[in-house]
Amino acid sequence: MTIQWFPGHMAKARRQVTEKLKLVDIVIELVDARIPLSSRNPMIEEIIGQKPRLVLLNKADMADTNRTNQWIAYFKEQGITALAVNAQAGKGLQVIVQAAKEILKDKFDRMKSRGMRPRAIRAMIVGIPNVGKSTLINRLAKKNIAKTGNTPGVTKAQQWIKVGKELELLDTPGILWPKFEDPKVGYKLALTGAIKDTILNLQDIAVYGLRFLAEHYPERLEERYGLEEISEEVVDSFDKIGAKRGCLMAGGEVNYDKTSEIIVRDIRNVQLGPMTFDFIGEAEKDSE
């Protein structure tokens, strides 16, 4: 199964990102800390090419901290600096400028040795929908949105946001759409709110979520829904959850759509605790 959303948007977004890449020193790639692999655009390497990059694992407050640390180590092994942040609360943001400076040290040292005037690092944020791009930009911007008309090589004025003295951000982020062939990735995107439920079958998303919980966080199933395990016949578990949460139709039958909605919403809103759906092993399998 290949699901490709908005193929027209995809091509347009890609063109826009490619165009703006010329203006910046570094790309700040925002991924969802709950799905650091599934929330990346699969073409990202190809689109960004040799441009230096900083990866931010956003919504770290909603993810499993141990796994976030494992993912940071994983990116490091690939030669990529990754940081955990919470754009909403403004946590972890102070180190972004420092990390960007370190990544670009050689380039800026070379510029200096050629007698060029020191300037701020220019960056752009890219990421899939709903990953927190606007939240991060607003957090970093405070009130420092500045119009700079004279960016060399562009006719259209770009809006740059000053983040302290040392960093300038393009005010509009690049949107890179997710795309997947593996339905599992789709379920993870749906469970984290990156794609609408309507793209996939809601009951399938809920079943995936329940099975995932049973395998990796069984105690939380028990806590929230009073389930000790997910029965082979998953419908039995739906019956229990639906009955417990009052998702009944006239006649007392459990309403499976309503129950699915509750399960998906609970997972998405962290009612079952912070969790991470992607595992390092899955990344390693992909790169084989």
Ligand X SMILES: Nc1nc2c(ncn2[C@@H]2O[C@H](COP(=O)(O)OP(=O)(O)OP(=O)(O)O)[C@@H](O)[C@H]2O)c(=O)[nH]1
Binding site for ligand X (CB under 6 A): 58-59, 61-62, 86-88, 127, 129-135, 175
Closer to ligand X at the Cβ: 109 or 144? 144
Q: Which residues pair with 122 in a beta bridge?
A: 168
Rounded to the nearest whole angstrom, what is the least distance from the CB of residue 115 to ligand X in the complex?
A: 39
Strand partners, 55: 29, 82
Least distance from ligand X to the Cβ atom of residue 199, Å: 15
Min separation Cβ 253 and ligand X, Å:
35
Closest among 37, 1, 34 to 200, alpha carbons compared? 1
Q: Which is nearer to ligand X, 132 or 186 (CB)?
A: 132
Element (H, E) at 158: strand 158-163
Task: Please count the other Cβ atoms lying within 10 Å of the Cβ belonging to residue 118.
Answer: 9
Q: Kindly tell me which of 135 and 259 has the beta carbon lying closer to ligand X.
A: 135
Retrieve residue 128's tokens: 């899939």
Cα distances from 71 to residues 39, 227, 283, in angstroms, run 13, 30, 10
Min CB(135)–ligand X separation in Å: 3
Residue nearest to ligand X (CB): 132
Residue placing its CB nearer to ligand X in the complex, 29 or 241: 29
Per the CB < 8 A criterion, the answer to whether 243 and 285 are in contact is no
CB 3 within 8 A of CB 204: no
Output 140 or 185, the one with its CB closest to ligand X: 140
CB of 213 to ligand X, least distance (A): 19
Shortest distance, position 173 Cβ to ligand X, whole Å: 6
Beta carbon nearer to ligand X, 36 or 242? 36
- The least CB distance from residue 225 to ligand X, in Å, is 23
The CA–CA distances, whole Å, from 102 to 76, 109, 123, 240 equal 14, 11, 14, 53
Selection from 262, 284, 285, 286 nearest residue 74 by Cα: 284
Cα angle 88, 93, 94; round to 5: 145
Tell me how far, at minimum, the Cβ of 33 lies from ligand X, in Å: 8
Name the residue nearer to ligand X (CB basis): 59 or 238: 59
CB closer to ligand X, 28 vs 87: 87
Buried b (16+ CB within 10 A) or exposed e, 151-188: beeeeeebebbbbeeebbbbbebbbbbbbbeeeebbbb
